[in-house]
Every structure is written in C-alpha cells, then in structure tokens.
Structure 1
Amino acid sequence: MSAVAASSREWLAEFPRLHDISDNVWQMDAGKAVRMQVKSGTVLFRDGDACQAYVLVVSGSVRVQKMDPQGHEIVLYRVEEGQSCMLTTTCLLGSRSYPAEGIAESEVDLVMLPLKIFEHALAGSEGFRHFVMNNIGERICDLMLLLEDVAFGRMDVRLARLLLKNIDTNASNTDLTLIRTHRELAVELGTAREVISRLLKSFERNGLVELSRNQITLCDLKALQKLIDQG
C-alpha cells in the first residue's frame, strides 16, 4: 500500500461534479488530498475501525460487506470508479466507527481527504457539500432496493438475476462461464452456501446452467430471464 500527495488534482478528472467546483475552499482542500494505491484483496477497513478520511475511488472496485454473529456475510454495495464510499461518509458525519468491512476486489486507486480537511471542505464549500449529500441519497436508494430484495425476493430469482448480471449477454457461448465459487455467490446474496449449491443443482437439472469446479456456465439465458420476469 503506497500513498502520495495528490496536489496535482489530476484525480478530479474522474469526478466531474467535484472538478466543476470553483470556490476557493474546495480548490485549496482538494490539493491536500492523499492518493493511495492498494492491491487486490487488501482490507481497507474492518467492522469497528475508526474512520479517518473521506474516500473516493479513482479506479478499481471496493466491496463493502457485513457479517453477522453466525458468520454469514452479505455484500451491501460496491464502490466503483468515480464514486465515494457512503459508509465512510456517514461514519465521518456521525463520528462513528465502521459497522462493516471494505475489501479491494482489484487493484484500487484511491483518493482520501483526511478528516480535518473533509470537515473544512464540508463547512466552507457549498459545491462539495452538495456532492456529499447527493452521493448519500443515491446510496440510500440502492440500499433500500437491496433491503426489499432480501426481505421479499425469492432466492432462485435473485440467484438468476445475479448470474445474468455477471455475464456479458452479448457475448458468444464461450464467454458464458462465471469463475465464482458457491460461497462467493452466497455472500453476494446473504445466504448459506448450501442454499446456493442446492439451487444451482436445480438449475443444472433443468438445463439452465452447467456446473464444474468453481465454474458456472450459463446454458439457457432466455430461461433464466423468464424465471426473473415471472418471479
């Protein structure tokens, strides 16, 4: 993990709304950001960690997930290129520790505003304040959809949707294979590995997928979509 001063402000090109903020407070504080590169698999924060900086992802993907006392995990959301981490933002605003963990899913290029700089920009820059609040609003909507899906969605429908989401449906048949374990899919959907294994076996019996070690090949995209539409 390496960190350098981001005084050149080149990173702002990935965040058009921040790039367009012209007030003096933001222009000064943006130059005090710290840029960091982290390797895939790096744990950026753990449940209970103190929150020290506002985080923006320049490139790569960070998976934010929660584990219950029984060890079951669920992916809450991902922070992708050009996005900020809502959990980090709410922890900074509420002076709270992290209630979940964030893991780099690939090599990630981050920009961080240390706590004091974040607070200064939030208080003195109307444009930055709007950016922060808009991002919180967008993420709350995403989490409400996740909550609705978890509470009311059928697991077979949710699994079919996840499989299609992770496949390029315009690709040739040779590209319709996912390199994912049953446990990884279970974490995505917030359920037990055994549940996913049972559903995938059912999908295989019905000709929807073909299973091999750590691989799932989608055999009938139309049938999977029909399952989703009827769910």
Structure 2
Amino acid sequence: MIPLDALLTEALPFWEGLSPQEQQLLLDTAVPSTIPKGTITHRADQDCKGIMLVLAGQLRAYILSEEGREVTLYRVQGGDTCVMSSSCLMDAIVFDVLIQAMEDTQVVTLPVTALSALSQRHPEVELFLYKTASERFSDIMWTMQQILFMGMDRRAAIFLWDEYTRQGPVLSMTHEEMARYIGSAREVVTKVLKYFAQEGIVSLRRGKITILDKEKLRQLAG
C-alpha cells in the first residue's frame, strides 16, 4: 500500500505549503478505513466527518424525496475526493445529501477538527475545499440537466456508455440499481432496456446488462 504521506502529497495541493508540524497533524488524525458495500456513510442528520480521499471503490451521493425516490447526484471513484461529507466546514454551502458505498470502498478520512484549524491559518486549504465542491456542483447541474431536458432513452444510453468505458461490456447491475443512478423508476428503466435489447444494443440477464453494439450505444448517447 502507498504510504499515507505519499497519498496526502498527491491528493492535497496545499500539502507542501504546510509546516512539518501541520503535516504531522494530518498524518496523525487521518483515518484509513474500508466502507462495506451498501453502507450509508453520511446523512444530513449526522455529524460532519471531514473530507474522504477515495483510494479504491465507489461512493454515490444522492438525495431522497419525501416519497422515497432516490436521485443520484454524482459518483466519486478511486483517486477522487468527496467533500460533501465536510460541508460543515463551508458556511456558504448548505446541501443535504446522503453518501453510500456502491462497492467495498477504501477511503482515508481527514477529520473536521484538523481541517478547520488548518483552514483558519491557510486560505489555500479553504480554497481547495470550495474548488472541489464546485466541481461536484458542476456534476450535479449536469445530472439535473439530464433529468429535466433529456429523453429517457438518451439518459439511459449515456449512463450505459459511461459504465462501458469504466468497467467493460458486462455490467453487474439490476434495473433497480440503474434506476437509482439515473433518477428514474425501475419500470421505466426496464422498458427502455427491453427496447435496447430488441435493437440488439444490449442483452439482459438477471442482475447483468451486456453491451452488444457499442457503436449504436455511442450514437444514442450522442
């Protein structure tokens, strides 16, 4: 495993600007952990934890309507940083999301106590938090644009194409899981996937979606 100081050097652009004592503070308080698949690691009613550096796996940030419908806002994968779990450090951002591990996910959490002290002495720490948060809000706006202005077939095609480029032609995923990712109902996703299957774009098996014609899928994704 990569040493923790090397991980922080790569992940935190402000690392080199910290004093040796401040660097040691982060090293001493950083908490490596593995979040089991399905675990909700952040809720609006929980205490703020800090930022999470994702080493491997995948986290999903989503909102939940009063009727229980889930809308995935964005996903964070290995090499990315999840800052929404540290929103209490950013007074201008009030955004209640849930964060769930979509597979067993290895993270390093930098706690609020250490980050808060550093941000008061180093403006670049606060700048890093806001810059990373703004990137996530860009992802959220893209998601909202898809939901509001795109047809369901194109949204499904974009999602499948992104998954194809990430993990290959065989996707281990139920229709219910895909519906949560793209903010739709399972019945609607099933209908679209059946249409894709009729067109020879995918084949469907229980818990699996296999991409058969990537060119057709790419054209649908636009």
Same fold (TM over 0.5): yes
User: What are the ranges of 5 or more consecutive residues in structure 2 without an aligned counterpart?
Assistant: none
What value does the CA root-mean-square deviation take over the aligned residues? 2.7
Alpha-carbon distance between aligned partners in 1 of 2:94 and 2:127, rounded to the nearest angstrom: 24
Offset at 1:209?
1.5
Q: Is the 8 A contact 1:47 1:97 kept in 2?
A: no
> In the alignment, is residue 145 of structure 1 matched against residue 134 of structure 2?
no
The C-alpha deviation readout for 1:95-115, integer Å capped at 9, x for no partner, is 999722212223333223332
What's the TM-score, normalizing by structure 1? 0.82
Aligned residue type for 1:37 = S
Matched residue, 2:215: 222
Aligned residue type for 1:9 = D
1:6-155 paired onto structure 2 within 5 Å:
9-15=5-11, 17-23=13-19, 26-41=22-37, 42-94=39-91, 99-155=96-152
Offset at 1:82?
3.4
Alignment partner of 1:56: what SS? strand
What's the TM-score, normalizing by structure 2? 0.85
Q: Is the 8 A contact 2:51 2:83 kept in 1?
A: no
Q: Is the 8 A contact 1:56 1:84 kept in 2?
A: yes
Alpha-carbon distance between aligned partners in 1 of 2:92 and 2:115, rounded to the nearest angstrom: 13
Alpha-carbon distance between aligned partners in 2 of 1:119 and 1:183, rounded to the nearest angstrom: 39
Percent identity between matched residues is: 26
User: What are the ranges of 5 or more consecutive residues in structure 1 without an aligned counterpart?
Assistant: 1-6
Alignment partner of 1:31: what SS? helix
Matched residue, 1:208: 201
Offset at 1:216?
1.5
Q: Is the 8 A contact 2:32 2:106 kept in 1?
A: yes
Aligned residue type for 1:224 = L
Offset at 1:221?
1.5
Q: Is the 8 A contact 2:157 2:221 kept in 1?
A: yes
Aligned structure 1 segments of 4 or more residues deviating by more than 3 angstroms: 22-26, 94-98
- TM-aligned CA distance change 1:60 to 1:217, over 3 Å: closer
Aligned residues: 219
